[in-house]
Structure 1
């Protein structure tokens, strides 16, 4: 298994030129690796066996299993167990059960006793259909078909592609601009020739008018961030539909944990990820009469599916909130010039805010955005000298303008 997952670790390695921020990296790299790892786990038969194993009286067991895998299995619809009524204080005492019952009958109202009897009846009815498998009354019993079971691996692979799409789109739109600007200057130690050459190149670049190009560059990046947020939200809704109200059922199951009501927990989780299911196979006799064979099938992958989808649901919620907060911060940066100045100054501890304002005076918001990307990928000393050069150029241009006016 490690040999199969090992190539994915290379995808998580940081590149010499970073074109994404941290939130973008979590969407485009971490989430894709998680989804691909889950799909590889589910497809590893040496760990979890065949995806379906059926018990049948038919001799051709492979045919039955292929039929049930292709046509789908089902369970009987079972309403979750009601919460048990609160027990009286007398029943919680250390006295014997018989004395507690007699005291209960004499001290509490008949309605409370009826509530307990109704709960016992519902509990017995639920336990007669263990994990949705039990006697079926045709025309009355409701079936819940597990049509998602065959499609889990395909869904995970498709989600991995969808999460990778914004990063692929940004790579195309970015066009290796940062690589051309920041190559060879990301190391801590640089030769003097490389240092001076790259410094002159960056100063020349940021003093040239690329306003429209840089504005388009920033707009495309923001579009990719919006895509990341939208994809996370859509995937949450897809899981809800794909698993027939997955999280709604699990919220009810989580409510039973503080009460240590594991019977209720099992009844709810089994309605979403049952480990055993029913399957009907039609067998035709010599005269053409169809005989229905009722088979019991084991679904081993649901042991893993239950853990995977709970984790993925929580992960999608987390990255959706991160992407939403990131978009709010991005909007604040676009609207506030003061915030942009402070972000640049955070990269230049020794530079005063007055000099930062002067360096950014003629730069547009698109220029600022690219300048922030450059600051992440170049030597900090080089970036400090770049800002100092821009500040001096703005000062000299202001002085020359004043002299010409005088």
Structure 2
């Protein structure tokens, strides 16, 4: 089992350069890992057995019946859902079929593993798009400054290069930030689309999965029936037609056990709660971006919290002279270089900006910071 998931361990590795936020990573790391793991689980017959097992008196052709029923899907009878199991019907949804009665066909189980794989790819797409647009800019900014033991001569050279680069691009980072915000919006739209996709795939049942499960757990044990059995039946019916020894058409009515549905229902119930969680987190993140755009003081507080060793006066002047896009670059930079180096970079940048008239020089009564 561990060997099966070994190929996914790359998703757990921390990236050398951070170019996004925690909510963004929930989509392309945690969610992709969950979806691919579920897809692999459903493909492991050696651990969970065959996906279908049919019961029929003629055991000589049972393999043919099982293959036929797997390919052409099985069905249940809606009128038999509410009948007493063990008295009127052998299993929920299983009864003698008569002409004119409705059949509810279940063919989704053939595609569950592929659908989960497709969803994993779609959840990774915003990250892929952002990487194409980002083009390694933050990695080039970070240089070797993540190393706190960088020699003094090399650190001074890196300070000069980074300060110069930040200075000449100050005020021109709007495209960089807008592309990232677009990818964050894309993650929210994607998870909403995925919920509608699963709802369509499961016949309109996915939108209420979590609500039904919560309601079901509150019912009394003697009177409750699992609502997910209708969408993930354990036992279904299948009709197979064959020729008899005399050449006439014979009807084979088989019962088919679907053991994988025990795993399917748990996967999709978990995905319902997880996707609702992603929607809420993504919406809160976008609202947080709006607050950052509207409140420079909030941007200052975030940077101070992120880099407490940096000069408060320098940060105050840089944030006051910057828009949200420039602040975003400073924020990402604080994640990718050592705090000591970051303090020096902030001081160098503030001094360079003041010399060129971008921000007012600090008065001695307000700030005694020395910019080296």
Shorter-chain TM-score: what band?
0.7 to 0.9
**Higher relative contact order at CA 8 Å, sep ≥6: structure 1 or structure 2?**
1
Which stretch shifts more, 355-364 or 159-168?
355-364
Contact 1:187 1:378 survives alignment (8 Å): yes
Which one has a larger percent helix, Structure 1 or Structure 2? Answer: 1
Which stretch shifts more, 50-59 or 36-45?
50-59
Structure 1 equivalent of residue 14 of structure 2? 14
RMSD: 2.6
**Partners in 2 of 1:126 and 1:167 — Cα distance?**
55
Unaligned runs of at least 5 residues, structure 2: 362-372
Structure 1 equivalent of residue 176 of structure 2? 217
Structure 1 equivalent of residue 332 of structure 2? 373
Q: Deviations over 1:345-377 (max 9, x none)?
A: 223435565432323454343222111111110
Judged with a 3 Å threshold, the aligned counterparts in structure 2 of structure 1 residues 7 and 177 are, in CA distance, closer, same or farther, namely same
**Partners in 1 of 2:261 and 2:38 — Cα distance?**
13
Which stretch shifts more, 126-135 or 68-77?
126-135
**Partners in 1 of 2:269 and 2:115 — Cα distance?**
15
Structure 2 equivalent of residue 61 of structure 1? 62
Query: Per the alignment, in what secondary structure is the counterpart of residue 265 of structure 1?
Result: coil
Q: Deviations over 1:320-364 (max 9, x none)?
A: 111111111112212322222222222343556543232345434
Structure 2 equivalent of residue 162 of structure 1? 122
Find 2:113's aligned residue among 137, 153, 168. 153
Query: Per the alignment, in what secondary structure is the counterpart of residue 219 of structure 2?
Result: coil
Give the 5 Å matches for 1:324-403: 324-349=283-308, 354-398=313-357
TM-score (norm 1): 0.81
TM-score (norm 2): 0.88
**Aligned: 1:31 with 2:31:** yes
Larger Rg, first or second structure (1 or 2): 1
Structure 1 equivalent of residue 91 of structure 2? 130
Q: Deviations over 1:122-170 (max 9, x none)?
A: 6579952522112222213x21111211110010000000001111111
**Partners in 2 of 1:43 and 1:209 — Cα distance?**
50
**Partners in 1 of 2:209 and 2:314 — Cα distance?**
58
Structure 2 equivalent of residue 76 of structure 1? 77
User: How many matched pairs?
Assistant: 359
Q: Deviations over 1:181-235 (max 9, x none)?
A: 11322133322223212111111011114544x2111111111111111111122
Unaligned runs of at least 5 residues, structure 1: 82-121
Query: Per the alignment, in what secondary structure is the counterpart of residue 278 of structure 1?
Result: strand
